[in-house]
Amino acid sequence: MVSKAGRWWRSAVVYQVYIRSFADSSGDGVGDIAGLRSRLPYLAGLGIDALWINPWYPSPMRDGGYDVADLRGIDPSFGTLLEAEAMIREAHGLGLRVLLDLVPNHVSDQHAWFREALAAGRAGSGSSARARFLFRDGRGPAGAEPPNDWTSNFGGSAWTRVTDPDGRPEQWYLHLFAPEQPDLDWTNREVQDEFAAVMRFWFDLGVDGFRIDVAHGLAKAEGLPDLGETEWPPGADGRLGHPHWDRDEVHAIYRSWRALADEYDDPRVFVGEAWVHDSERLARYVRSDELHTAFNFDFLLAPWDAEPMRRSIETTLRTHEAVGAAPTWVLSNHDTVREVSRYARPQGVRRLLKLDDVLALPADRPAGLRRARAAALLMLALPGGAYIYQGEELGLPEVEDLPDEALRDPVWALSGHAERGRDGCRVPIPWSGPAPPFGFSPVAADAAPWLPQPASWRELTVEAQTGADGSTLELYRRALAVRREHPALGDGHLTWLCMPAGALAFVRDPGFGCIVNFSAADSVPIPPDAAPLLASGSLTQDRRVPQDTAVWLTLDQSTAKRA
């Protein structure tokens, strides 16, 4: 019993479960599979089509599970493989598809392959165990300098030098992220075969697809040349010059994965996490024989303003249509500042991804929430699929005042405490009750939630918002219910309507309209022959749409024709 037949991913609303922070059933303060199972009815009731579960594999958790020690297992803190299978079955029974997170760029330094590579020692520097990774000799006298000038995404050099059992320094290995996340060499046949086998393992268990972590990072330029002056994002002429981001060689990998996914009767699907320069580059990942979908981060980064939003939407629609793919809209995830807090800041600053950038700007919190609610209606009305990050449906803000000692993101330590990192969007979900842990953990839990929840979240729990007039949760429930039923929504096309500066409006066939007033000082009138279906905030008494508000409309034929 699956909600949308055929190419379901083109319209799907996928809910991102950051499993460590979703629901804890064991009482250790960390979310788990049993917790997720207990909340599946909530997710089904929300009206989503699928889940994407962040990494749940055995992991030392140096990067929240993105340091995978065993690609075919479940971390004991989350449960067992049997529980995972049961969860997948139950989700399917409720009409929900299940996507996992595949982390192909790197593994944990505790993965058997990396241990083997270290054990091979200097004598084994040309060994097959080391060839799965990017081990190189250092530069300069005694090889004391890293092999090139690449930097880790989390700060510092992208190279770490290993020492032999006698403590003598030997080769270096590449890690685009934390030192505990050694990069794999994707030109290596064994690496390619292993990931194909891993995908089959999970597909055969019933998993419907994968989100591909760092999809733009797998291929490295031959010879690992210095980055030098290469800019990122690169300018138009230097696009392909980057030695490890968005290289053309990645596409052959995705073509082989697509062929594998298509072997299944009910084809399995992919969504790529590809941070690339522009929409044209992104569309290359979703060509018809590559990934099915890819997160549209351009939309996530667009400021809350009519013109840049329209440009982002138009470009996305054009570039995706050119390759026959459906866009995938997204407003936040476990790596970005929650949109309630981003939109609370002065807009026009394109890069509000990092908490430190956000904290530097004054906040208008009520405006942030109004805009986030309007953005949700905008996103869910656009042609294509959409992702909702857990807590988005509750209007959760970023937790901006986590004490230093609570911070767990490796970014904090690796940046020398210069960047606070991503913990503020990973705080456990408030389900019920007047005080932490707000139903996240059982009443008699042994441990507090792994990140502290603000006391003010008592007003934002699922329980507090359920049935509450005007709550963000009820807005999402209603919007998703309308979206499931309305023939105009999901995959398809839109037609823009003329609007005053600061507002956008479009219609979709049959009989659907959406108006978003970003900043038009005069509220925007609703056409006389249109009836409001759902609004993100109050309309004026004379049926006009005020600033920071979106409204969905039912249109009669004449409005549709005027378009």
Active site residues: 213, 263
| Separation CA 86–CA 80 (nearest Å) | 10
Which residue type does 349 have? V
> Minimal distance in Å, beta carbon 93 to ligand GLC?
29
CB of 13 to ligand GLC, least distance (A): 20
Q: Nearest distance from residue 377's CB to ligand GLC, in Å?
A: 26
CB of 104 to ligand GLC, least distance (A): 10
By beta-carbon proximity to ligand GLC, the closer residue of 103 and 482 is: 103
8-state DSSP, 264? S
Least gap, CB of 65 to ligand GLC (angstroms): 9
Closest distance between ligand GLC and the C-beta of residue 386, in Å?
Answer: 18
Residue 411 three-state SS = helix
Q: How far is the CB of 59 from ligand GLC (least distance, A)?
A: 11
CA 149 – CA 151 distance, rounded (Å) = 6
CB of 60 to ligand GLC, least distance (A): 13
Q: Does residue 490 contact residue 509 with C-beta atoms inside 8 Å?
A: no
309 contact partners, CB below 8 Å, separation of at least 6: 299, 302, 303, 378, 504, 516, 518
Q: Which is nearer to ligand GLC, 421 or 449 (CB)?
A: 421
Q: Do the beta carbons of residue 513 and residue 506 sit within 8 Å?
A: yes
Strands (E), 264-356: 269-272, 293-294, 328-330
**With respect to ligand GLC, which residue has the nearer C-beta, 62 or 483?**
62
Task: Tell me the backbone φ, ψ of residue 532, rounded to 5 degrees.
Answer: -60, 135
Looking at beta carbons only, is 66 or 518 nearer to ligand GLC? Answer: 66
Least gap, CB of 214 to ligand GLC (angstroms): 5
Distance from C-alpha of 426 to C-alpha of 263, rounded to nearest angstrom: 36
Residue 503 pairs in a beta bridge with 517
Tokens of 195: 């990931």
Nearer to ligand GLC, 275 or 440 (CB): 275
Nearer to ligand GLC, 133 or 506 (CB): 133
Q: Cβ(260)–Cβ(199) under 8 Å?
A: yes
How far apart are the two ends of the chain, measured CA to CA in Å? 37
Phi, psi values for residue 514, rounded to 5°: -140, 130
The C-alpha angle with vertex 524 and arms to 518 and 526, in degrees rounded to 5, equals: 125
Yes or no: say if 536 and 551 are a contact pair by the CB < 8 Å rule.
yes
Torsion of CA 367, 372, 377, 381, to 10 degrees: 130
What's the CA gap between 216 and 244, in Å, rounded?
Answer: 8
Which whole-number Å values give the CA distances from 155 to 150, 195, 404, 470, in the listed order?
10, 28, 18, 43
Could you list the residues that contact ligand GLC (CB under 6 A)? Answer: 63, 66, 103, 177, 213-214, 273, 334-335
Structure tokens at 315: 């470009």
- Radius of gyration of the chain from Cα atoms? 24
Q: Which is nearer to ligand GLC, 16 or 315 (CB)?
A: 16
Q: How far is CA 139 from the centre of its chain?
A: 37
The rounded distance, in Å, linking the Cα atoms of 159 and 124 is: 19
Q: Which is nearer to ligand GLC, 274 or 479 (CB)?
A: 274
Rounded Cα distance, 80 and 85, in Å? 9
* Least CB distance to ligand GLC at residue 68 (A): 9
By beta-carbon distance, which residue lies closest to ligand GLC? 66
Residue 52 burial class via C-beta count within 10 angstroms: exposed 0-12, middle 13-18, buried 19 and up: buried
State the number of CA atoms in the 13 A half-sphere of 355 facing the CB.
23
Question: How far apart (Å, rounded) are the C-alpha atoms in residues 27 and 512?
Answer: 46
Cβ distance to ligand GLC smaller for residue 334 or 371: 334
| Choice between 213 and 393, CB closer to ligand GLC | 213
